[in-house]
Chain A
Amino acid sequence: MSLKRAALLLLLGGAVIPAIAQQIELPVGNAPAADRTPTADGTARPGIDESALRYFASQGDTRRLEAEIARLRALYPDWSPPADLFGPQSDPDLERMWKLYAEGKLSDVRSAIAARQATDPSWQPPAELLARLDESENRRRLINASDAQQWSTVLRMATETPGLLTCANVDILWRVGEAFAKTNQMQRSLDAYTYLLTNCNDPAERLATIQKALPLLDDEQVKQLLALERKDAQGQPEFTTIRDELIRRRVGRAAENPEFIVSNDDIARLETLARAGNTPDDPLLLGWYLFRHDEASRALDWFKLALDRQGGAKAAEGYVLALNSLGRALEAEPIAFQWRDAAPQNGKAYLDVVISLLTAAPPPVLSETVLTRFSPVVMHDKYVPGAQALGWYAYNTGQLVVAQAWFQTALSWDPNDEPSSYGLALTYWRLNDAARLNALVQSWRGRSERIVALVDANLRAQLEARNLQGQINRTTDPLVAAALRVTPPPANTGAPAAGLAYGAGQPQTTGFQPVPSQFQPIPAQATGQATGQPFQPVPVQTTQVAPMQTAQPAPVRRAYAQSAGYQPAAANRSRTTSGGGTQGGGGAAALSRGWRLMELNRPIEAVTAFDEAIRTGSGRIAEEAAYGKSLAYMRKGMTNQAQVAATEAPQSPRRAMQLTADLLAQRAYDFYRDQRYVEAIISLDERARISPEQQDLMMMRGWSYFNIRDYQSAERIFRALAAQGNTDAMNGVSEIEFARRLYKRE
C-alpha cells in the first residue's frame, strides 16, 4: 500500500476540517494551520504530533494510518509523512495508550494517562493524544445529546470540536444540522446540509442527507439543496426519488390541511406512482388529499385500493368516511363496525356513520343489526352524541318513549348537553308532559333560547322570524342538523287556533312516511345487560301517559289519549287468573304477577313478568301473557313493541282482532299526538276495516282532517257528530268556519 496514494485519495475526499467551521460560522477554538511555519525539508516539526501515526504504522493498521495522514495533511498542507514511520517505538506506555484509543476504550486511555501522571507528575501526554481523545469523547457526547434531544449540547460539542465536522462524519453533520433546525437557526441548518452536499461524495450519504433535511427544512430551502444535485454514473439525476418524496410531502401536508392545494401535476404523478406500486401508502395519501378537498368520490376509489393492498385501519377509516360523505352510510356501516376497534379514529368513524344514519332525513329504515350493535357501543363509551342520535332516531320515527329514554341517558352522562335537552324537551312536549317540560325549561332558562321558546310564545315568534331571515346556520354536524330539522311545536298547546297555525306547517301534511317497524333498542335494555344503573328508572318513572291524559286541555286530544279502556279487561283477567294460580309455580304465577303489576300501573315490570310467563307457560297462559305484554307496551305508548308482543303467542281470532284494533287505535293516537295526521288517518282507516269506529276515534279523524286543511272532510264528520249532540264536534264546526275566514283573507 503506497502511503502517497492513500494520502492523495483522502485529500481528494475533501476532508477539509476548518472549512465546515467557517461554513456554519461556528467559533473555531484553535486555528490549527495558521500559526505553523512549514520547514523546507518536510521533516517533523515541533507541534505536529506524529505519535498516532507511528502507532498505527507499528500496528500495520493501514486504514487508520491513511486517515491520520489525510487528517494531518488537511491541517498542515505542507506536511508530508516522515520517512522513518516504521521505526521502533520509544515509549511502550504511550504505545499502549494509542492501542486503547484505537480500540475505542476512551475511559481506559484517560485512566492510563492519569495513572502515569500520578506516578510521574512531570509527564505530559502528547497534545495530539489529548486532542484525539477530546474529539472522540465529544463525538460520543454529541451523539448522546442528540439522541436525548439536548440540542444546545450538540452545538456546544460541535463548536468545541470542529474537527468532527467532516465528510468522514456525515452522521455528526446531520445531527448538527438537525440541532440548528431544532433551535430555530434555519439558515445555519441549511448551511450544514449545503456544506455536506457541496463537499461530500458518497452517493448513499448524499441521498440520505436530503432525506434527513426534508422534515426539518421548508420547501424553499429543500429546493436550494436540490440545486446541488449531481448526475450519477449513468447520467441520471441523483435525487429523482427525492422529488417524488417531495410530492408526497406536499400532498401529505395538503391532506392534513385543506387550505393547501397541490398542483394537478403533483396529483397526476402521485396517481402514476400509486398505480405502479403495490403498497397502500400512495393510494392512502391520494385518498386523504382528495377526501379533504371535497372529492369524496375519487377518494373512495383510492381508499378502496389502499384497503385491497392491506392498508389496514387508516384505509378503512378513509373508505368509511368517504362512503359516508357520499351519502352511502348504510354501505359504510358494516365496514366501519368491523374496524371500529382498530384505532381511535376508526371508532370515531363508526360512530359518525351510525349517527349520520340515525339523524338522516327522512329517517331510513335501519336493520335491527345496525341498532343492536350500536347501542352497546354507545352505552359502553357513555357516548353522549350517540345516545342523542338514538334519541333523534326514535323521535323521528315516532317512538317517543324510547326517544325520551335515550335523551335522558345522554343527559345522565352530560347534564349540560343542550341538544339532548332540546330533544328531551321536544319529546316531553309531544308527550304533553307539561310538568317535566316546564322543569326542564326552567333549568335551561338563560342558556338555550330554543328550549325556552317551547313554552314562551314571544320568544318563539322571535326565533321563527330570525329563521325566516335565513339565519339558520347550515352545518355539517348531523346532530345539529337533526335538531334544526325538528320544527319546534307551538307554544300554546291548548288553543285550537295555535294547533291550526301549527298543523298547517307540519311536514307530515306533504308526505306520508311510514313508521319503520323495526326493532329500536331502548337504553334500559342495554344497561340491563351491563351494569343496570342510569336509566333503569326510565321505564319506572315514566308514567307520562297518565299526566298527559289529564293535563291535555284540548278536547280533541284528550279524547283519544284514553287507552284506559283496556285496563278493566286486564284487571278482570288478573283476578280470574290469579285466583287459580299457584305462588312461584311457573307460568301461571308469572302471569298473575304481570297482571298485578299492571294494576299497580308498573307496565314495564309487568312486561318482564309476562315474558317469564310466555317462556315458561304454554297454551292459554302464554296467550294470556302475550296479550298482557302487548297491553303493557301499549300503556307505555310503545306500540311497535306492543305489536311484536301480540304475536309472541297465538291468540284466539276474536281476541287477535280486538288486539289489532286496539293497537291501531293506540298507534293512531300516537301519530296524532306527534302531529302526523296523515298517518293517524291511515291507522284509523286500517282499524275501521276490522272494527267500527267509536265517536272518540271519529273526533280524532275529524281533527286530523282539520289539521291537514281538508276542511271538507273534517266538516262532514264534525257535522254528523254534532247532530248527535257532541259538543266537541260543534266546536270543530266553528273552528272550521274560523279557519276558512282566515284563509280567505290571505
Chain B
Amino acid sequence: MRRLLIVRLTAGLVAFAALLALGIGGATPLKAQTMANTVPIEAWNAYRNSFVAENGRVVDTANGDISHSEGQGYGMLLAFLAGDRSSFERIWSFTRTELMIRDDGLAAWRWDPNATPHVTDVNAASDGDILIAYALARAGISWSSPAYTDAARKIARALGAKLVVKSGDRLVLLPGVQGFSAEERKDGPILNLSYWIFEAFPVFAQLAPETDWVRLGVSGLDLLTIARLGPAQLPPDWIAAPARGPVTVAEGFPPVFGYNSLRIFLYLLRAGIEDSQILESFRRSWLAENGGVPAIVDIPTGRVVNQLTEPGYRMLGALLACALDRTTIPRDLRRFEPTLYYPSTLFLLSWAVLVEKYPRCL
C-alpha cells in the first residue's frame, strides 16, 4: 500500500516536472490562438458589469466592497482569457497605480474604498502577485506587448526574491512578506497551499529563471500529499509547515478546509496535473459524501460545516466530476449569472478549463 502511494506520488511529480520542462524548452511556450478566449465574451461582460468598477477596480462584493491584489489578478486573467484587451488595460491601470506601490515591487494586498489612504494593509499576498504577473505574462505574449512582459518579469523576480524561500529541503511560497516566515512564527513557515498557482510557474521559469520554479511546484505537490489532515484527509486553508516536524493546522487560523483550499484542484487541473492524490480527497468529500457539492469541512472532526450551493461552487464540483469521471456539466450550470465576486470568479475559471481541456463534458 505504502509503496503504491510512493509510486503514484513520484509519477505525479515526474509528470509535473515534465510539464514544466515543456514550458521552459518550447520555442513558443504558450500559443495565443489556443489559450485565449476560453471565457465567453458575454459571460465576461456580465462579470465585468457586476464586479469591475469604471476605474478598473475589481470589487469583492462579499467583503465590504474592498479590493485586493488577488481580485485584480483574477480580473486581469479573466479579461485576458476573454480576449478583452480594453478591460485588461483598465484593471491593470488601477492595479499599477493603486497597489503596485511597494518598495520591493510587489502589490499591496488590501484596498478599502472607505479608508484614507485606501491601502489599509501594505503587506503583499503572494497569490495576488502571482495572478497579476501571470496574466501580464500571458497578455504580453498573446498581444505582443513588451510593456506587459516587462511588468510581469519585474513582479516574478520580486516574488522569487521575497516570497519563494528555502525551508529545509523544501522551496516554499510564503503567503506574504510579513508575518509568515519561520523567523516570525514559532510554528512557521505558515503556508497556504491554494497560493500555489501551478500554471504560472512554467511561465515564471522563463521570465525569472534565477528562481527554481520547478522545485517550488514540486514542493507544493509534496506538501499537498502530506497536508491531507483529519478524518476527511483534506488540506487546511492554512498550514504550519516547519522544516523539521509534521505539517499541522496553523495556530490562529480557522482549522478548516475552506474557501481558500477549495480552489486547489482547480489550479491543479488548469496546470494539467490530473493524477495528484489530493484529487482523491476532493472526490471523496465532494462527489461521494456531499452529492457533488463542495463543502467547508472542519479538519479535526472531518465534519461538514457548510455546504456551498452557489453556482460557482457547484461548478467546481461539476468540473471535478468531469475531470475524474467524464460526467457532463449539468444544464443549469451552462449559463453564467454573476452572484458574488468569488464564486463567480471560480465559475469562469472553471469554464475556461472546461473549454480548454475537457470540451467533452460540455
Contacts and interface: CB of A to CB of B under 8 A. Distances in A.
Interface of A: 105-108, 110-115, 117-118, 137, 140-141, 144-145, 147-153
Interface of B: 54-56, 85-94, 96-98, 100-103, 108, 117-119, 122
Contacts of B94: 107
Contact of A141 (B87, B92, B100): B100
Contact of A118 (B55, B86, B100, B118): B86
Contacts, number: 76
Contact of B56 (A107, A112, A147, A153): A107
Contacts of A114: 85-86, 88-90
15 contacts: A105-B54, A110-B56, A110-B89, A111-B56, A111-B89, A112-B86, A114-B89, A118-B85, A118-B86, A141-B98, A141-B101, A147-B117, A150-B122, A151-B103, A153-B102
Contacts of A105: 54-55
A117 B84 CA distance: 12
Closest 5 pairs (CB-CB, A-B): A115-B86, A114-B89, A147-B117, A111-B90, A152-B103
Contacts of A137: 93, 96-97
Contact of A111 (B86, B108, B118, B122): B86
Nearest to B86: A115
A148 B117 contact: yes
Contacts of A113: 89
A189 B118 CA distance: 27
A160 to B, nearest CB: 12
B204 to A, nearest CB: 22
Nearest to A133: B93
A624 to B, nearest CB: 63
A118 B56 CA distance: 18
B103 A153 contact: yes
Contacts of A151: 103
Interface of A is mostly: helix
Given A107-B54, A111-B89, A118-B86, A150 B96 contact: no
Contacts of A140: 97-98
Contacts of A153: 101-103
A140 B55 CA distance: 13
B100 to A, nearest CB: 7
Nearest to B83: A118
Nearest to B94: A107
A137 B98 CA distance: 9
Contact of A110 (B93, B101, B108, B117): B93
Interface centre among B54, B87, B90 (most CB of A within 10 A): B90
A144 B89 contact: no
B54 A108 contact: yes
Contact of B101 (A106, A107, A115, A150): A150
Interface centre among A107, A114, A147, A151 (most CB of B within 10 A): A107
Contacts of B100: 141
A137 B97 CA distance: 6
A28 to B, nearest CB: 21
A140 B102 CA distance: 14
Interface centre among A112, A115, A144, A152 (most CB of B within 10 A): A144
A111 B97 contact: no
Nearest to B95: A107
Contacts of B55: 105-108
A386 B98 CA distance: 53
Contact of A144 (B85, B88, B98): B98
Contact of A145 (B86, B87, B88, B101): B101
Interface centre among B54, B90, B94, B101 (most CB of A within 10 A): B101
A113 B97 CA distance: 17
B101 A117 contact: no
Nearest to A108: B54
